[in-house]
């Protein structure tokens, strides 16, 4: 019984910590943020194994630097939602980090599509894009 309680507590702690720094969005919430011309870091993922690597790195960098970022699982979108999203943010493959400034992608040149990027390099790119000081 103690082992089950410990595992539950550990999972609860990990989930609580991650959700405060890397928040999951659904399609509707993302469109609202874009329509409201917000600026934020967005990770588009299909949550495959390599995508989870990048997600974990982003989560670590967010937590270590006390910033909030968002992610959207593109596999959860229907065809119309995916087409609509691609009108706003053009992409072919998931597992990319895009930098949204005032509701639009800052530049496609700044995208991060290296799922194995180091935390150090990711932090540096967040600084370059003015999401970190």
The model's pLDDT over 30-56, given as tens digits with 9 standing for 90+, comes to 999 999 999 999 999 998 898 899 999
Decide if 37 is inside a domain: yes
Positive/negative CA dihedral, 104, 123, 132, 11: positive
Which residue range is the domain that position 103 belongs to? 2-128
Query: How high is the pLDDT of residue 1?
Result: 56
Decide if 47 is inside a domain: yes
Query: How high is the pLDDT of residue 43?
Result: 97
Decide if 133 is inside a domain: no
- Report the CATH number at residue 19: 3.40.30.10
Instruction: Express each pLDDT in 52-66 by its tens digit.
Output: 999 999 999 999 999
Decide if 33 is inside a domain: yes
pTM over 0.75: yes
Higher confidence at residue 27 or residue 5? 27
Decide if 59 is inside a domain: yes
Burial class (CB in 10 A: 0-12, 13-18, 19+), 16: exposed
Query: How high is the pLDDT of residue 117?
Result: 96
Decide if 83 is inside a domain: yes
User: Helices 27-35 and 79-88: crossing angle, nearest 10°?
Assistant: 30
Decide if 42 is inside a domain: yes
User: 103: alpha, beta or left, given left = phi > 0 and alpha = psi -120 to 50?
Assistant: left
Q: How many angstroms separate the Cα of 126 from the Cα of each of 48, 50, 88, 123, 129?
A: 23, 20, 21, 5, 5
5, pLDDT greater than 60: no
Query: How high is the pLDDT of residue 2?
Result: 52
Q: Count of domains in the chain?
A: 1
Range 51-56 contact pairs with CB under 8 angstroms and sequence separation of 24 or more: 51/94, 51/95, 51/115, 53/115, 53/116, 54/95, 54/97, 54/112, 54/114, 54/115, 54/116, 54/117, 55/22
């Amino acid at each position: 019984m103690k082992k089950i309680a410990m595992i539950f507590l550990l999972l609860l702690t990990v989930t609580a910590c991650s959700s405060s720094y890397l928040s999951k969005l659904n399609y509707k919430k993302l469109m609202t943020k874009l329509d409201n011309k917000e600026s934020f870091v967005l990770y588009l993922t299909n949550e495959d194994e390599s995508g989870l690597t990048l997600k974990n790195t982003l989560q670590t960098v967010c937590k270590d630097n006390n910033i909030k970022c968002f992610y959207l699982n593109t596999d959860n979108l229907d065809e119309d939602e995916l087409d609509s999203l691609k009108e706003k943010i053009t992409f072919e493959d998931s597992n990319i980090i895009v930098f949204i400034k005032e509701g639009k992608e800052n530049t496609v040149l700044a995208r991060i599509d290296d799922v194995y990027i180091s935390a150090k390099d990711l932090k540096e790119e967040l600084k370059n894009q003015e999401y970190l000081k």
